[in-house]
Amino acid sequence: MKSGFLAGAILAATLFATPALAEDIKIAIAGPMTGDLAAFGDQLRKGAEKAVQDINASGGVLGKKLTLVMGDDQCDPKQAVQVANDLVNQNVAMVTGHFCSGASIPASDVYGEEGIIQITPSATNPALTDEGAAKGITTLFRTCSRDDRQGVFAGNWLANKYAGKKVAILDDKSAYGQGVADNVVKNMEAGGLKPAMRETYTQKQRDFSALLSKLKAAAIDAVFIGGYYNDIGLIVRQARDQGYQGQFIASDAVNSAEFWSISGPAGEGLIYPDAAAAVNEPSAQDVVKRFRADNYEPEGYTLNSYAAIQAWAAAVVKAGTTDGAKVAAALRSGSYPTVIGNLSWDAKGDLQEVHYVWWGWHGGKAVVEPNT
């Protein structure tokens, strides 16, 4: 990652200039606050800040105010471990994050060993909670779905929509991108459609001409890409520049306005499945209105981040303590109303219910696709 290995780049830092009082409860947000995926870090940060602001305005938790600190891992696994250790040393009671699966998985070992609640708003690789449960970690949760669930939704749809046609599956070789793509292939094949092409690319690659030439030569009708908005925006733009006119479908990490800033008009019509965008849900309307009053559109994982802190705070009240093991038991013991709906978790820390819908980019905005 760019400057990620420079000294001090990964140190967690307080979000607010005012130091925490002794009686404050310190919690954290961790993710790519700088680097190529910083737009996602901003989503997590904005959601966490608003949740802390609202909770403090309502009297705090157990009569104490919340103080928010931040860790910047740039989605790098090694930096994520260092950030996690730094947050542990700051005695945080919970962590909202990390963003990327590749960062969340190693960081979860640190939090699990210390009994600190970790709730990721965005890390979808099944290995995160599967391996965590196998290791006996009980303090790990998500407010997002899993790649295997996204794979069922998208894979079945591709098998039906493109029956008898040529579909290519691409991924960026990351824990997230490859995980989604592999699950899409699995479910697409179960539906009777084998990929006409299965390729990978390197994250932050700048020239995709060789890959795009393969798509054109094979007369691919549709392309599913497992990866992040920065690479996918370039792929789509270069594809249209080279005259490829097939349909692009992407994994849910294109749910940022930064996708369109990279793709430009070439991104028109790209669709993606998303279970994170809850801006239209009745439960979110008050918070969404206040975000927009501050000239911020709560896109992507913003509300998932808000919900993570919202649910944790309610569980702390229920448990009567910030002790990680007791709060984890409280989280699993019932359903919690949040901005993204009522949330409940299974033994691994995965959400009991997730609802996907198709979204598409049109005229620079992401909107729900009514006819997919």
| Beta bridge partner(s), residue 167 | 222
Instruction: Look at residue 354 in the predicted model and tell me its pLDDT.
Output: 87
Q: What is the pLDDT of residue 256?
A: 92
- From CA 98, how far away is CA 140, in angstroms rounded? 11
Show the tokens assigned to 138.
């009980």
Are 102 and 171 spatial neighbours (Cβ–Cβ below 8 Å)?
no
Hey, what CATH topology would domain 13-145+280-343 get? Rossmann fold (3.40.50)
Q: What is the C-alpha to C-alpha distance for residues 315 and 338, in angstroms, rounded to an integer? A: 12
**Rounded Cα gap, residues 227 and 172, in angstroms:** 5
Same topology, domains 13-145+280-343 and 148-274? Answer is: yes
Per-residue pLDDT of the chain (372 residues; tens, 9 = 90+): 333 333 333 333 333 333 445 589 999 999 999 999 999 999 999 999 999 999 999 999 999 999 999 999 999 999 999 999 999 999 999 999 999 999 999 999 999 999 999 999 999 999 999 999 999 999 999 999 999 999 999 999 999 999 999 999 999 999 999 999 999 999 999 999 999 999 999 999 999 999 999 999 999 999 999 999 999 999 999 999 999 999 999 999 999 999 999 999 999 999 999 986 788 888 999 999 999 999 999 999 999 999 999 999 999 999 999 999 999 999 999 999 999 999 999 999 999 988 899 999 999 999 999 877
Domain ranges of the chain: 13-145+280-343, 148-274
**Looking at the chain, how many residues does it have?**
372
What gap in Å lies between CA 69 and CA 66, rounded to an integer?
Answer: 10
pLDDT of 5 reads 30
The CATH code of domain 148-274 reads: 3.40.50.2300
Q: Could you tell me which of 300, 315, 184, 296 has the C-alpha nearest to residue 253?
A: 300
Beta-bridge partners for 247: 222
Q: Which residues pair with 368 in a beta bridge?
A: 359
At 2 the pLDDT is 33
Q: Round to whole Å and give the CA distance between 62 and 319.
A: 10
Cβ contact 185:195 at 8 Å: yes
Alpha helices in the chain (DSSP H): 38-57, 77-89, 101-114, 127-134, 147-161, 175-190, 209-217, 229-241, 257-263, 285-293, 302-319, 324-332
Helix axes 101-114, 127-134, angle to 10 degrees: 20
CA distances to 31, 169, 213, 243 from 217, in Å: 39, 15, 6, 12
Instruction: Give the pTM.
Output: 0.87
**Which residue's structure tokens are 């590749």?**
102
* Residue-level pLDDT at 22: 52
- The answer to whether the Cα torsion of 229, 231, 234, 238 is positive or negative is negative
